[in-house]
């Protein structure tokens, strides 16, 4: 019986696209993960202190609705940075993946919470329903998307495209309501708001620079800076 030599170069091994995606993303070192956890851990503590300060020392001239919206912003920041801290501090791969979905879902909540606070402070009541409905619907859809992607093992997709989604969610309302928001704020509050937006957006550059050591910790620092600037912008608006 004739035998045939194996055909070389004719049969290709199956390509694992998910594995390829993972290769393109440099895994953080242990030191980097500690820095990632500490930076947002500190941010979570600051968010908690900010919320407590609004409860204990509320602005005298502010309405209960605006104070509540500002507290909601602080709680959204606390949830976001707390989820991020849990993700980076976890050593269990399963828990790390789960907290990654919570982390990304919470970013949408933070964006919606930020807009809710500034809209309540600066916009006329008639503009609030369409803006808030759109923002919180987007935050809900993004949150569901994160967990669907997690269940299908699509974390690389999340890492590559989430930044663009969140930039769009934050800046599209600026194109529609930005002028009204700035007009409704005192000058110093408007400056702090703009500086916070710039800090967040600059942080995205660090977020996507995945080959740079400690890029993610830099992103975290700029997120904490942006949230802090926005808190003081709200305080200035309510003073």
Q: What is the CATH number of the domain that holds 107?
A: 1.20.1070
pLDDT band, very low/low/confident/very high, at 156 (cuts 50, 70, 90): low
Nearest Cα residue to 82 out of 200, 218, 231, 220: 220
Q: In this predicted structure, what is the pLDDT of residue 25? A: 59
Identify whether 15 is part of a domain.
no
Which 3 state secondary structure label does DSSP give 7?
A: coil
40 is in an annotated binding site: no
For residue 111, is pLDDT > 60? yes
For residue 115, is pLDDT > 70? yes
Identify whether 8 is part of a domain.
no
Q: In this predicted structure, what is the pLDDT of residue 158? A: 66
Identify whether 10 is part of a domain.
no
φ/ψ of residue 15, rounded to 5: -95, 125
For the CA atoms of 195, 224, 135, 84, the dihedral, rounded to the nearest 10 degrees, stands at 160
> Rounded mean pLDDT of 185-201?
97
Whole-angstrom Cα distance, residue 51 to residue 72? 8
Q: In this predicted structure, what is the pLDDT of residue 64? A: 92
DSSP string, 138-158: HHHHHHHHHHHHHHTT-HHHH
For residue 17, is pLDDT > 80? no
Q: Enumerate residues 6+ apart whose C-beta is below 8 A from 89.
A: 33, 37, 41
For residue 93, is pLDDT > 60? yes
Classify the C-alpha dihedral 208-206-178-104 as positive or negative: positive
Whole-angstrom Cα distance, residue 189 to residue 187? 5
Number of domains, the chain: 1
Q: Which domain holds residue 86?
A: 28-238
Q: In this predicted structure, what is the pLDDT of residue 216? A: 96
Q: In this predicted structure, what is the pLDDT of residue 9? A: 46
Q: In this predicted structure, what is the pLDDT of residue 159? A: 66
Whole-angstrom Cα distance, residue 229 to residue 231? 5
Q: In this predicted structure, what is the pLDDT of residue 60? A: 84
Whole-angstrom Cα distance, residue 87 to residue 156? 15
Q: In this predicted structure, what is the pLDDT of residue 61? A: 81
Whole-angstrom Cα distance, residue 150 to residue 144? 10
230 is in an annotated binding site: no
4 is in an annotated binding site: no
Identify whether 18 is part of a domain.
no
The structure's pTM equals: 0.86
Identify whether 12 is part of a domain.
no
For residue 193, is pLDDT > 90? yes
CB 231 within 8 A of CB 48: no
User: Would you give the DSSP letter of residue 72?
Assistant: H
Identify whether 11 is part of a domain.
no
The string of pLDDT tens digits covering residues 78-90 is 999 999 999 999 9
Identify whether 36 is part of a domain.
yes
> Rounded mean pLDDT of 197-221?
95
Q: Enumerate residues 6+ apart whose C-beta is below 8 A from 128.
A: 119, 120
């Amino acid at each position: 019986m004739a035998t045939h030599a194996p055909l070389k170069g004719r049969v290709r091994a199956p390509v694992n696209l998910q594995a390829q995606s993972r290769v393109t993303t440099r895994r953080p070192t242990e030191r980097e993960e500690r820095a990632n956890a500490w930076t947002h851990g500190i941010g979570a503590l600051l968010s908690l202190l900010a919320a407590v300060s609004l409860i204990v020392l509320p602005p005298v001239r502010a309405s209960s609705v605006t104070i509540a919206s500002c507290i909601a912003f602080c709680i959204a920041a606390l949830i976001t940075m707390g989820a991020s801290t849990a993700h980076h501090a976890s050593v269990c791969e399963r828990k790390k993946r789960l907290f990654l979905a919570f982390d990304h879902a919470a970013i949408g909540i933070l964006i919606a919470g930020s807009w809710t606070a500034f809209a309540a402070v600066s916009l006329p009541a008639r503009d609030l329903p369409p803006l808030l409905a759109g923002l919180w619907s987007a935050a809900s859809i993004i949150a569901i998307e994160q967990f669907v992607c997690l269940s299908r093992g699509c974390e690389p997709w999340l890492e590559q495209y989430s930044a663009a989604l969140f930039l769009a969610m934050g800046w599209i309302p600026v194109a529609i309501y930005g002028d009204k928001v700035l007009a409704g704020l005192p000058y110093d509050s408007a400056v702090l708001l703009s500086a916070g937006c710039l800090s967040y957006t600059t942080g995205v550059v660090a977020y996507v620079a995945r080959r740079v050591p400690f890029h993610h910790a830099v992103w975290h620092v700029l997120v904490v800076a942006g949230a802090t600037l926005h808190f003081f912008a709200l305080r200035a608006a309510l003073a």
